[in-house]
Amino acid sequence: MISLGVSAIGQGLLYGLLGVGLFLTFRILDFPDMTVEGTFPLGAAVAVSAISHGISPLIATLLAMLAGMAAGALTGFLTTTGKVPILLAGILVMTGLYSVNLRIMGAANVSLLNKANLFNAPFLKNLPPYFDSVVVGLIVAVIVVALLILFLNTQIGQGFIASGDNPTMARSLGINPAHQQILGLVVGNGLVGIAGALIAQNNGYADVNMGIGVIVIGLAAIIIGEVLFGELTLSQRLVATVLGSILYRFVLLLVLALGFSANDLQLLSAIILAIAIMVPTMEHKLRIRRVLRNGVQHND
Amino acid sequence: MTDVQLQVENVAVNVAVGDTARALLKNINLSVKPGEFVTVLGANGAGKSTLFNAITGDVPVAGGRITLAGHDITDEQPERRARLIARVFQDPKMGTAPRMTVAENLLLASRRGKRLSLGSRQLNARLAEFKTLAAQTGNGLDQALNKPTEELSGGQRQALSLLMATMTQPELLLLDEHTAALDPHTSKAIMTLTQAIVSRENLTCLMITHQLEDALAYGNRMIVLKDGQIAFDYDAEAKAKLTRADLLEYFG
């Protein structure tokens, strides 16, 4: 039971990167980036293939990040220069990546059995089971979140936030929102590429279908973090997203413990996300109704 | 030194309506001196906003040339022109980033048109300066520096937009009916602030307005647009003699 919890924390931290990557586009720039459903397995495919070819796991993970960034840049190019609507641009790249991922792996599923990976690094050897994913996840999450907080507080970071908040205003100040959109897609998908690489190494295999539904997992992390912690600064919300991702894993554990099959997970994920999105709106409506009811009585 | 700040030469703007092209601006010529405050009048569809959009680069010109402070900006992208031109929109929501604080908005505006770097934004070092700047609005903006702008009133937001547009002393200030969305009292306060800033910074300014009183009371030149052309152009002396009744005739 405890090991299940530890595993959930580890997986939550690793998937947290996916949430943080999506946060840049979904919450700061204000659009859902479907590319991630292709870049997540792309990161996995690149990392697993690179490791199979004898490349060190660390370099393989960085290659996965670069591949993710390239995919993000492609979506960015399609939507800014090509004027393809952002949702469709993401879907196009995601669909194309399915074939690319098959080419990279040479099969639908590639195992990492008996190969070196980040989770069997020497310093993780003496840990109890599943703690390796917690340690690796924590290290990566801390580094990534810290770098992003630093970035958001730079001049470019502020321009990035502004162009998501009000593109007209950003343009009138000389900031090109199209450039910021590409930046968000490149960095966001780079992080999702890392997430895919880490999850594949942790699971011991890459599968061409492992991207299905990951946008829902990432968005669920963001929204659970928001529902849980309420009003936060942008920097705090990045941390809340990682915590939301961990909590999401526990919700899934609970659901499985209730007797649902693993095959039901996608449906359950979608339902959990839908509920998490609806809760704040319904809460708001209820509060207004309460205020209106009380207000009339007290006012003369 | 040139005695012309803004030169609009033979500028035409067309839009496609179905298969036919319609002229929004018909070879407009306008020359504005440094420090001139021009009020721009005209009925809906006369081409006032199109003239602004042509100057900022938000609509492509079909012909002609636009020069500002010695720079030929005709073919420059809107983002590039932002280093020279600041615009305040009618909708108070257009000019500020809603989820960023007042101070963060001011900080961004203080770097108008400059290349942003990966250096720290250095907000704290400038808070005192921003507080003084915001205090001149007289509407409590200086007490709200750390509030997101979505929590401000329309008047505060518009005052902030005005500060953001003028704090870097742009070569040209465009006011696009910037008080039209405000109540009469707030509108007057914003106009008083506008006049104070424009005079103090000696800004060259074009102001679109539908308020005939404002058009008469402010500025030292007035142009009236009609059907995409400048129908009348009054200098300070002629403008001073105009009455509300004269103006009503143009819109009758």
Q: Which residue has the tokens 């870097």?
A: B168
Q: Look at A155 and B104 and tell me if their CB atoms are within 8 Å.
A: no
pLDDT at B249: 76
Q: A41-92 pLDDT, tens per residue?
A: 999 999 999 999 999 999 999 999 999 999 999 999 999 999 999 999 999 9
Q: Look at A173 and B78 and tell me if their CB atoms are within 8 Å.
A: no
Nearest CA in chain A to B123: A153
Residue B43: exposed, middle, or buried by beta-carbon count in 10 A (0-12, 13-18, 19+)? middle
**Sequence-separated (6 or more) residues with CB below 8 Å from residue A35:** A71, A72, A75, A89, A90, A93, A94, A97, A185, A189
Q: A176-186 pLDDT, tens per residue?
A: 999 999 999 99
pLDDT at A124: 82
**Sequence-separated (6 or more) residues with CB below 8 Å from residue B206:** B6, B32, B38, B40, B52, B55, B172, B173, B174, B175
Q: Look at B121 and A158 and tell me if their CB atoms are within 8 Å.
A: yes
Distance CA A273, CA A278 (A): 9
Please compute, for residue B195, the number of CA atoms within 13 A of its CA located in the half-sphere on the CB side: 12
Write out residues in chain B with pLDDT < 70, as ranges: 1-2, 250-252
Q: For the whole prediction, is pTM greater than 0.80?
A: yes
Enumerate the residues of chain A whose CB falls inside 8 A of the CB of residue B77.
176
Cβ–Cβ < 8 Å for A222, A23: yes
Give the residue-averaged pLDDT of A280-296.
Answer: 78
Residue B139: exposed, middle, or buried by beta-carbon count in 10 A (0-12, 13-18, 19+)? buried
Residue type, B49: S
* Alpha-carbon dihedral sign for residues A188, A190, A191, A197: positive
Q: Give me the percent of chain A exceeding a pLDDT of 70.
A: 98
Whole-complex ipTM: 0.90
pLDDT at A120: 85
Nearest chain A CA: its distance from B99 CA (Å): 7
The per-residue b/e assignment along A124-139, b for 16 or more CB within 10 angstroms, e otherwise, is: eeeeeebbbbbbbbbe
Enumerate the residues of chain A whose CB falls inside 8 A of the CB of residue B99.
161, 165
Nearest chain B CA: its distance from A22 CA (Å): 19
Q: B151-200 pLDDT, tens per residue?
A: 999 999 999 999 999 999 999 999 999 999 999 999 999 999 999 999 99
